[in-house]
Structures are given as C-alpha cells and as structure tokens.
Amino acid sequence: MTKNERFNDSIGALFTDDLELAKICILKSSTDIGVRRNLGRAGSRFSPKSIVNILKKMTNTDFTDSHFIEYEVSNEQSEAKNFEDAQLLESSKIQKHIGKFNKYIHIGGGHDHVFPMLKSIIETLKQKELYIINIDAHLDTRVDMQRHSGTPFRDIDKLKPKSAYLYQYGIHNFSNSHKTKTELSHINQKVFPKGDKRFFDEISKIPKDSFVFLSLDADALDSSQMQAVSAVNPNGVELEQMRDIIELVKEFKESMFGVYEYNPIYDDLSQKGAKNICSLIYQYLL
C-alpha cells in the first residue's frame, strides 16, 4: 500500500471545506485560560489539534458516505483580554454552525467551553427541553467571582434556562466542596456517583425525541486509561462504561458530544489518552 492509498483509506481524506459535502462538524475550542484560572495545568489548549490528528488517522470504512468539516470557535487573545466577552463571541460563532450538519463534536481545552456551547444550543432550541449528561469527577458548579473551568454549569444556570435538566455521573464527594454542591436555581440537577444504577434508570426515562448534550470531562475517566488531565482520577469511569453511555445517547433523536480537559502534554508516547478519546468519538459517530 502506498502512502497516498493509506491516506485515501483514512478519515483524514474525508475532511473538506465544502459545505455541501460535509455532514459531520467538529468544533474546536483551542484555549485553556479557563483551566489556568481554575489553577489547573496548562496544555489542554492543544487538545483539539491532538485529538483531530489521531481521528484523521483512523480508517474511513464506516464513514464513506460522510465528510467532515472543522472550525475553530475560540480565541486565546480575546480570552486573555476579556474572558466573559470572549465566551459570548465563541457562543455566537458556534450558533452560526448549528443546524447545518447531521452530527457535531465539540473538542475543548477547559470545561469552561461547555458554557458557550450550551448557550448557543439553548438559544437555538428556544422553548424545547435540553437534557445535559455530564460525565465528570467534579460538578463544575463552583461558586466563584470569575468564570473558569469549574463554573460552567453554574454560569448556564444564571441564564435562567426554562427547560434544562442536568444529570451528573461519576462525581466524587472528595472532589467537590459544600458550596460547589449547593442547588442550582433554574436547572433541574441530579447527581450520581460512579456505579450508581439510578443514573441509567434516569437516562432511560428521557423521551427519545429529546435533545441530549453529552459532555465528557476527560478527568472522569480512570487513571489507568486517562492520565493526561489536570486532576488524575484514582477511581474513575472505565471506557467500557463510557461506551455504554454513548450507546444510550445515540438512541435519542438529536444529540451532540463534547469532550474537554484532555491535556496532551501529560499523555504518554503512545498517545493512549487521545486514542481512547478518539475511539469514543468514532463510536458516537457510527
């Protein structure tokens, strides 16, 4: 097999700038200022590039009728100047792309990028219900004076969404303060530790014609499978359980998948962390 033949058999060969051909949209938020604001390790800004590069090397056998398109929607210089305004700009950029493609993947540096993503979805859905499934060790509902990677769901709650539900799975008590665990005012939130079967029962009750946003903070995954994060998880969710969750999400009429907080600087030479994430993205897109 020649080099060109190998490329033609890869997902990379399906990337295009043609809006008429593209069916799968990858939105990239390549900044990590929100992580650094939260005293996390720098480097997750390289996550979108690293993950997309691995994804492009996978074979395209299952996607021969699809084409991929990618957009950068964040701006590090704008965030450094005014973080809150930059998030509003990011949300407006995301909103321009919603509704044009069949499937969406959002790859962010910090989990703060889920705020502009969800804001754009809420404004697009209008009065429709939104179900958010967050797989995480942390609730990310910190009560702080400034926004960062630990506040996005508290920030979304401040927008007063009318019909939003948040299911948090994989949460550790030792990773969340009492203030973090205070109730949200407008979002109906349910919290489940790893292994709690009630989580799957609750997901099964969501109407199948609903819009579901699946958010994965990479530090939710067990350290044996994901070491490339700011907060390595000693008792995290295993990949096989994450695959079960993805299969549940795929049953809904409309869904999107966001992956955050992977830090390639702390991955090993095999890029195990990025490959594990790409395997999840691949499964979701099938």
We report the CATH number of the domain holding residue 264 as 3.40.800.10
Residue 67 burial (10 A CB sphere; 0-12, 13-18, 19+): buried
Domain extent for 279: 3-285
Q: Residue 43 in contact with residue 260, Cβ under 8 Å?
A: no
pLDDT in tens, 98-135: 999 999 999 999 999 999 999 999 999 876 899 999 99
pLDDT in tens, 226-258: 999 999 999 999 999 999 999 999 999 999 999
Our count of domains for the chain comes to 1
pTM score, whole prediction: 0.97
pLDDT at 269: 94
pLDDT at 4: 81
CA max distance for the chain: 59
Residue with the bigger pLDDT between 3 and 132: it is 132
User: For 85-94, what is the mean pLDDT?
Assistant: 98
pLDDT at 3: 66
pLDDT in tens, 267-286: 999 999 999 999 999 999 99
* Residue whose C-alpha is closest to residue 142's, from 156, 132, 152, 130: 152
User: For 17-23, what is the mean pLDDT?
Assistant: 95
User: For the chain, what is the mean pLDDT?
Assistant: 96
* Residue whose C-alpha is closest to residue 238's, from 135, 134, 114: 135
Tokens of 279: 């395997």
pLDDT at 185: 96
Q: What is the rounded distance in angstroms from the CA atom of residue 206 to the CA atom of residue 213?
A: 12
pLDDT at 255: 97
Strands (E), 14-146: 24-29, 68-72, 103-108, 130-135
The least confident of 1-15, 37-51, 90-104, 146-160 is 1-15
